[in-house]
A = this chain, B = another copy of it.
């Protein structure tokens, strides 16, 4: 019955990688708390780099400075 929301920047995660996140997060709840995987929901939100900030700056700006 758990609900897991994974929020990442939209920077090219593939369907295969997202499937691994879903599988891994579900298994984590099974392993640690004995939750039922059948009713464990995982939702991945991919967020534009303009819309994600850390340290007071957008990831778009941070990526530009580093490159």
Residues of A within 8 A of B (CB): 1-9, 13, 15, 17-29, 31-33, 35, 37-47, 50-61
Q: Nearest 3 pairs between A and B by C-beta?
A: A22-B53, A42-B53, A26-B56
Enumerate 27 A-B pairs (CB-CB under 8 Å) in ascending A order. Answer: A1-B52, A1-B59, A2-B8, A3-B41, A4-B4, A4-B6, A6-B29, A7-B43, A17-B32, A17-B33, A18-B50, A18-B58, A19-B57, A21-B53, A23-B53, A25-B28, A25-B53, A37-B56, A38-B54, A39-B39, A39-B54, A41-B41, A41-B53, A42-B52, A43-B53, A44-B53, A45-B47
Q: Which of B8, B19, B32, B59 contacts A58 (CB 8 A)?
A: B19
